[in-house]
Amino acid sequence: MRLRGFTVAAIAVTMALTACSAPEDESEERAREDSDRAAAGEAPDAITIGWNQPYYSYNDDTSDGNATANSIINYMLRGNLFYYDENQALVRDESLGTFEKTSDDPLTVEYTVADDAAWSDGTPIDATDLLLQFVGTSGNLNTIDASDDVGNLGGEVYFNSSSPGLPLVTELPELSNDNKTLTLVYSEPFADWEVALDFGVPAHVTAMKALGIDDPQAAKDALVDAVQSNDKAALSSLAEFWNTGYDFTALPDDELLHLSSGAYELTDYVEGEYLTLTANPDYTGELPASINEVTVTYSDDPLAQVQQLQNGELDLFGPQATTDVLEALEAVDQAEVDTGVEGTYEHVDLVMDNGGPFDPATYGGDAETARQVRQAFLTAYPRQDIVDTLIKPINPDAEVRNSFLVTPGSPSYEAVSEASGMEEAYGDGDSEAAAQILAEAGVEGPIDVRFLIPADNQRRSDQFDIVQPKLADAGFNLIADRRGTWGEDLGSGTYDAVSFGWQSTSTAVTESQATFYTGGLNNLIGYSNPEVDDLFDELAVTTDEGEQEDIQGQIDAILTEDAIGSTVFQFPSVEAYNKNVIGNVTSAPLNPTIFYGYWNWTGPETE
């Protein structure tokens, strides 16, 4: 999952959705034009990129819209104050504005919007846009903790998002007289202040739609008034629209729902099939489109995408890496293939609040028995077998990941993973030890476990085939629950265990908070531990790197002891593109992966 900056990584899931290519009659003409451009050493006028899940929300800061499928498109539609490069370094983009820390005590950060910044409908971008993003992601004006129906709040205020840092800004941000500067004053230090706030959806559109105001400036004024006067009725309407008003699965008739402030505009979208981005003619920023038109087609079948690349229907795609896909790509003459490691990691989740085998309620509220059952499951889970069988053929250096919070290769990984105790606690899949834990808990098998699997994801099916016999030997009866809607069902409580990937979008130390914090945006298993919550709160206000590492190790150790699940491996990455059409393609390990560096794309590279 993605969230810009302070939010947790968007869920890196592969949804099973049917998709088609862009119209064939246009692709033949385009191929001829691109051939002429390539011969002249020029970048193509248009390219087609393959992806696995269709876009469905212009607001990827909500809990529901927080997905990589949305963030990769919004990355090209909307300008941001910063991004991460291919080396995971934070880079500031001052096209729309700047920000600076003006004080350490109290921590004060000042954001200034560029004078010429504007949305594609001509409305100026100003501090009101940042104010809405602060209100939406901080939750500071919410009157309820959560809402099952975010589209009908009944007069309550609930912006469906979360942030580990912005709640520390307990006073309303200050707006300058010219409405170009917004100032945040934190009540405590915040380690990740640089990535705490960025631009989101347009304030004027949100207020126009939510409050029934036609004039953009009048709408922004009304939004500011509602925030500053804490007008509950107006804020409830603003929250409802912010939560759901930007969701769509085909091109809306109303262009206000997908305005551009970045290099591209959304010009076409056929539901479930493809969308088209066209260079924004009014963009004057630092990251302009190098290719005029980008069409993104959708398919959940990577082998079909390999065939499309060979046929000239795709120019770039980043499939889930399997040996079958790599072997197929090797047979495509025009394919340039790069492999590496993604910022996404595979993990297994055990649901703790659904009345299933891992829920204390199943054992009369006995939390320790439920914990032992979870511990037995994880002790038998063959993480090393999965890595050896499925990942090492693609990345020979692959290893089991042993930290919930820290990515392998980062400076603190060795210390935090050792502190976690995960390797010692879970081992390499010991069915006998797991059975002994169940016996000590007084729980007899076989224990039925509904294991959620995406219907058409080969690697996840292969994982299940490796896991099932090991768990059977330990006393667990794994039931394959294959669903085409599995991504939508995550967090529904209708399964007991699931394995999927979390994608990192930043290097912020607080990035994982929403996954493990009580009621966190990405807490899909019903986990709650006050000690973990307190440590995350402490981590958020700790700026010393050594102390951060120590706190992360403590959190990791508690998560391991509580047996909430386990990390398994870091995703191997595969990026493939047509070297006869496009060049200078560099994928980034963090979101937006293959869409990173669109401003650098060129024509074919010559030797």
pLDDT, tens digit, 9 for 90 and up, residues 48-82? 999 988 999 999 999 889 888 999 999 999 999 99
DSSP category for residue 391: I
User: Tens digits of per-residue pLDDT, 538-557?
Assistant: 999 998 999 999 999 999 99
Amino acid at position 182, single letter: L
User: How buried is residue 591: exposed, middle or buried, by Cβ count under 10 Å (0-12/13-18/19+)?
Assistant: buried
Q: What is the pLDDT of residue 487?
A: 75
Which position has the token pair 């393959």?
50
Domain 97-198+202-244, second-level architecture: Alpha-Beta Complex (3.90)
Q: Which residues of 450-464 are buried (b: 16+ CB within 10 A; e: fewer)?
A: bbbbbebbbbbeebb
Quick one: pLDDT band at residue 14, thresholds 50, 70, 90? Answer: very low
Length of the chain: 607
Q: 343-571: same fold as 11-60+260-339+572-600?
A: no
- CA 152 to the chain's CA centroid: 26
pLDDT at 9 over 50: no
CA dist 47 and 444 (Å) reads 58
Map out the domains of the chain as residue ranges: 11-60+260-339+572-600, 97-198+202-244, 343-571
Q: For 11-60+260-339+572-600, CATH number?
A: 3.40.190.10
Give 315's pLDDT tier (boundaries 50, 70, 90): very high
Structure tokens at 350: 């055990």
Q: Say what the pTM is.
A: 0.84
Predicted pLDDT at 486: 80
Tell me the three state secondary structure of residue 481.
strand
Q: How much is the pLDDT for 6?
A: 29
Residue 565 near residue 350, CB atoms below 8 Å: yes
Using an 8 Å Cβ cutoff, are 597 and 588 in contact? yes
CATH topology of domain 343-571: Dipeptide-binding Protein; domain 3 (3.10.105)
